[in-house]
């Protein structure tokens, strides 16, 4: 009697990717949903108009309420505080970046080696930061929330996942914070506007850092 064939090894566990940060409304209140969406869009339009006309420093809860023709309490109920309002203004661009690295084409999206995806992520994130640098700076949360806001958590999850694949022996959780620090809007502003560095130099430095951390080359 022939021996039973060896059992196949179990399939590897899938690595869960975070979902896009959703800013929706309570599904238990469908009759308020359309009104809430319209109010939110009107407030964001007013805030965007203030940014375009006077810069991000002009965006206060009071000014947005006045521009939108609503009470200040409405703005606070919708966004919580000024940081929440500014982050909502940045939400569209952030979701586009998330969609690109979570499910877009390689090398930024799935299908490329992890180190190559890390290089592409840094370049895309730098481009995103430079595009809205003033607003990015104004939207920086206070130190107690800086590393817990959803956009940072999504980026941290993504980079640490790629690091675990590219450098499994490293302390990937802490190393991810180190890598993301190079993409910090305050540092990018300092390097570009106070040190006169071109964005290309920052992108090259990111690629060099990824190569050194992962032991690979582009």
Domain 90-214 has CATH 3.40.50: no
| Cα 81 versus chain centre, distance | 19
Number of neighbours of residue 121 by Cβ within 10 angstroms: 24
Query: How big, in percent rounded to 5, are the helix, strand and coil portions of the chain?
Result: 65, 0, 35
Q: At what angle do helices 72-79 and 82-103 cross, to 10 degrees?
A: 30
What pLDDT digit, counting tens, does each position of 166-186 carry? 999 999 999 999 999 999 999
Asked whether the beta carbons of 180 and 159 are under 8 A apart, the reply is yes
Mind listing the pLDDT tens digit of every residue in the chain (218 residues)?
444 444 444 433 334 445 555 433 333 334 446 777 788 888 888 888 888 888 888 788 999 999 988 889 989 988 899 888 988 898 988 999 999 999 999 999 999 999 999 999 999 999 999 998 999 999 988 888 999 999 999 999 999 999 999 999 999 999 999 999 999 999 999 999 999 999 999 999 999 999 999 999 87
Q: How far apart are CA 128 and CA 122, in angstroms?
A: 10
Domain boundaries, the chain: 31-80, 90-214
> Which residue, 186, 131, 187, 122, is CA-closest to 155?
122
Tokens of 80: 């919580």
pLDDT at site 47: 86
Fold type of domain 31-80: Arc Repressor Mutant, subunit A (1.10.10)
């Amino acid at each position: 009697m022939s021996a039973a064939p060896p059992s196949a090894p179990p399939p590897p566990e899938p690595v869960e990717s975070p979902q896009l940060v959703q800013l929706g409304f309570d599904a238990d209140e469908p009759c308020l949903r359309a009104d809430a969406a319209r109010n939110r869009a009107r407030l964001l339009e007013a805030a965007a108009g203030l940014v375009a006309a006077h810069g991000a420093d002009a965006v206060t809860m009071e000014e947005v309420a006045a521009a939108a023709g609503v009470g200040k309490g409405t703005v606070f109920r919708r966004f919580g505080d000024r940081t929440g309002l500014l982050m909502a203004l940045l939400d569209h661009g952030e979701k586009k970046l998330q969609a690109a690295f979570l499910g877009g084409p390689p090398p930024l999206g799935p299908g490329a080696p992890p180190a190559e995806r890390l290089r592409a992520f840094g370049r895309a994130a730098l481009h995103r930061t430079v595009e809205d640098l003033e607003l990015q700076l104004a939207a920086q949360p206070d130190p107690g929330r800086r590393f817990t806001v959803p956009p940072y958590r999504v980026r941290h999850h993504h980079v640490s996942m790629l690091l675990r694949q590219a450098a499994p022996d490293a302390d990937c959780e802490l190393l991810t914070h180190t890598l993301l620090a190079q993409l910090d809007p305050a540092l990018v502003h300092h390097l570009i506007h106070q040190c006169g560095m071109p964005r290309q130099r920052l992108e090259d430095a990111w690629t060099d850092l990824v190569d050194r951390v992962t032991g690979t080359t582009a």
